[in-house]
Amino acid sequence: MKKIGVFTSGGDSPGMNAAVRAVVRTGIYNNIEVYGIHRAYDGMIAGDIHRLESKDVSGIIQRGGTIIKSARSAAFRTKEGRKKAYESLKTAGIEGLVAIGGDGTFTGAKIFEAEYGIPSIGVPGTIDNDLFGTDNTIGYDTALNTVVEAVDKIRDTASSHDRLFFVEVMGRDAGFIALRSGIGVGAEAILVPETPTYIDTLIQKIEKGREQHKSSAIIMVAEGDDAGNAAEVARKVKEKFDFYDTKVTVLGHIQRGGSPSAADRVLASRLGVAAVEALLEGKTNQMVGVVNNQIAYTPYEKAIKHHNKLNENLLRLAEILST
């Protein structure tokens, strides 16, 4: 294998640049040419493919986002789109791919390999941390720290004005960010999609805190909670309990940006190196991850089909500490 391509797909996450850097420099170390595929599958179809040298990835390890851009591609879901993508790779002489992203990214790579035989290794890049086969995904640690920093500041205002803040974090299908950041900021309640939310029970918990003379309350809400988003939950609580001045803060896309933490930089570097080495060893259709601090490989099908589950001990811990 003399030429490989690397691309970042789906939602961006802090540390993607560190992963790209690791792929490029590992390729150079092994006398392989590495090509950046800009705008993911859309760029593959359009032939937006350019060789990356060591200097091109210098000074990017600390940068958020992704220098080769990211996108979701409707065209790649069609056979015609994938045929054009294959022709672009063939013209560039690319023999293998490193796909940095999540479920959709790996699904596309799996179908592409089945149709055209282009081997690929996936690198988990998503702040949601819901991919099976790795203890942490690239960007998750940074997102947690971003949320904690923001909520610490919100707590200052909440305490100054006897306010009840509902803070919405990302997590349409998984509550990993809400749970860990909620514990980290000492939230009075944490609402996640994996467990049912009962508004009356939530109100009882808030009332108990008021009786204990708590000057404020923070309710962490994953956007996909069964009771609704933060605004909907706040409205339901306000209808029955109006002691506090109620406010809603949606942290939104600030969770996906910012300079990656040291943990994410190291994780991305390890996974980028392992992905290139896996291609050289003849592996394909697998996601590389870190499990118990060791590099591990999981077939795409398993990584896509299964999802990490919330730690039951952390759910119990959150309940204990919120009393």
Q: Which residues are catalytic?
A: 128
Q: Is 32 annotated as a binding residue?
A: no
Q: Is 163 annotated as a binding-site member?
A: yes
172 annotated as ligand-binding: yes
Rounded to whole angstroms, what are the CA distances from 125 to 84, 87, 263, 289? 25, 26, 14, 10
According to the annotation, is 186 in a ligand binding site? yes
Q: Does 187 appear as a known binding residue?
A: yes
Task: Say whether 211 counts as a known binding-site residue.
Answer: no
Cβ-based neighbour number of residue 2 at 10 Å: 12
d(CA 59, CA 248): 38
| Sign of the alpha-carbon torsion through 273, 274, 278, 279 | negative
Q: Is 214 annotated as a binding residue?
A: yes
Residue in this structure with the two tokens 């596309």, named with its chain if needed: 108
- In angstroms, rounded to a whole number, what is the distance separating the alpha carbons of residues 17 and 78? 29
Sign of CA dihedral 142, 147, 150, 152: negative
CB-CB contact of 298 with 133 (8 Å): yes
Question: How many angstroms from the chain centroid is the CA of residue 50?
Answer: 26
- Check whether 10 is labelled as a binding-site residue: no
99 annotated binding-site participant: no
User: How distant, in Å, are the alpha carbons of 9, 256, 307 from that of 174?
Assistant: 20, 16, 9
Sign of the four-CA dihedral 172, 175, 181, 185: positive
Q: How far apart are CA 323 and CA 316, in angstroms?
A: 12
| 255 marked as part of a ligand binding site | yes
Residue 49, H or E segment: strand 49-52
- 237 annotated ligand-binding residue: no
Q: In Å, how far from its chain's centre is CA 18?
A: 14
128 is in an annotated binding site: yes
54 is in an annotated binding site: no
- Determine if residue 22 is labeled as part of a ligand binding site: yes
* Residue 88 marked as a ligand binder: no
265: number of Cβ within 10 Å: 23
Residue 161 marked in a binding site: no
What interhelical angle do 103-116 and 79-92 show, nearest 10? 70
Task: Establish whether 246 is an annotated binding residue.
Answer: no
CA distances from 240 to 201, 205, 226, 234, 244 (A): 12, 13, 19, 10, 11
Instruction: Give the residue numbers of the binding site for ADP.
Output: 21-25, 155, 186-188, 214-216
Annotated binding site for Mg(2+): 103
Show binding-site residues for substrate: 126-128, 163, 170-172, 223, 247, 253-256
**Which residues participate in the annotated binding site for ATP?**
11, 72-73, 102-105
User: Would you list which residues are annotated within the binding site?
Assistant: 11, 21-25, 72-73, 102-105, 126-128, 155, 163, 170-172, 186-188, 214-216, 223, 247, 253-256
